[in-house]
Amino acid sequence: MVHMGGSKHLKRFAAPGVWPIPVKRYTWAIKPLPGPHQTGLCIPLGMVLRDILKFGETLREVKFILNSGYIRVDGIVRREYKFPVGMMDVISVLKLNKHYRIVPSSGGMKLIEIPVEDADKKIVKVTRKKTTKGGKIQLGTNDGRSILLDETQEIKRGDSLLIRIPEQEILEHLPLAEGNVAVFYRGKNAGTVGEIVEVSDLVKISCDGQIYSGLRDYIMVVGRDKPLIKVDGA
């Protein structure tokens, strides 16, 4: 019988470079399921719990934790160990009352602990915008969300939204504009946070007296005069 479809397995040396995991400890890595984040910009939830947070020595232990309903991603209980989590996702451990956010860094993805008051907030980037048959505006975001607006707002592709999770209530609109604060979440400048000084085909930000530039697709606006949520380990 001919095998159809891609491989269900993934060796660690072939895993995306943004995964903050040891390569030599195990031969195999967990292959994430298709989901809200782009391939290469996500990591399986099981690997976050076992390899980064060290909540289990084995995958069997991690599966037990997940099946017990102790883990939420963006406010929703997740039991699938292959579920893909990505940039700005909030992982909550109910038993310990601890909350973590996935943020970009120069070494790839990084988990930082966040205060409980930030655990119901998330910044998403608008990647698509269209008008539905009913005349409403539909926004698509970098984490696979679809948000409907009841009224026309000046929200453009490339802008960011501070939302409440899991309700998806829009708390604040953050335009991709000079003077606002942004973070590179992809590319060689990943993890750099600074003030936007120029928006054209490339976006330039100023950080510690240096100017960094990158594609619009590599930038996420995270605040006005300062980030609205914690986006680094400082």
Q: Please state, in angstroms and rounded to a whole number, the distance separating the CA atoms of residues 231 and 118.
A: 11
The CATH homologous superfamily of the domain defined by 10-117 = RNA-binding S4 domain (3.10.290.10)
Domain boundaries, the chain: 10-117, 121-174, 181-223
Q: What is the pLDDT of residues 172-231, one digit of tens each?
A: 999 999 999 999 988 888 889 999 999 998 999 999 999 999 999 999 999 999 999 988
Question: What are the tokens at 94?
Answer: 């109910």
Q: Please state, in angstroms and rounded to a whole number, the distance separating the CA atoms of residues 211 and 209.
A: 7
- The three-class DSSP label of residue 116 is helix
Q: Please state, in angstroms and rounded to a whole number, the distance separating the CA atoms of residues 85 and 73.
A: 8
Q: Are 101 and 130 in contact (CB under 8 A)?
A: no
Q: What is the pLDDT of residues 115-125, one digit of tens each?
A: 999 999 999 99
Counts of helices then strands in the chain (DSSP H, E)? 2, 19
Name, in order, each residue with C-beta under 8 angstroms of 94's C-beta and a sequence gap of 6 or more: 69, 70, 71, 72
Q: What are the respective helix, strand and coil percentages of the chain, to the nearest 5?
A: 10, 40, 50
> Is residue 135 predicted with pLDDT exceeding 90?
no
Question: What are the tokens at 18?
Answer: 């943004």
Fold adopted by 181-223: SH3 type barrels. (2.30.30)
Of 201, 216, 206, the residue nearest 158 (C-alpha): 216
Q: Please state, in angstroms and rounded to a whole number, the distance separating the CA atoms of residues 142 and 87.
A: 9
Q: What is the pLDDT of residues 17-58, one digit of tens each?
A: 555 555 555 555 677 788 888 777 888 899 899 888 989 888
Amino acid at 54: K
Residue with tokens 């995958």: 59
DSSP bridge partners of 196: 205
Model confidence, pTM: 0.86
- CATH architecture entry for 121-174: Beta Barrel (2.40)
Q: Please state, in angstroms and rounded to a whole number, the distance separating the CA atoms of residues 192 and 105.
A: 7
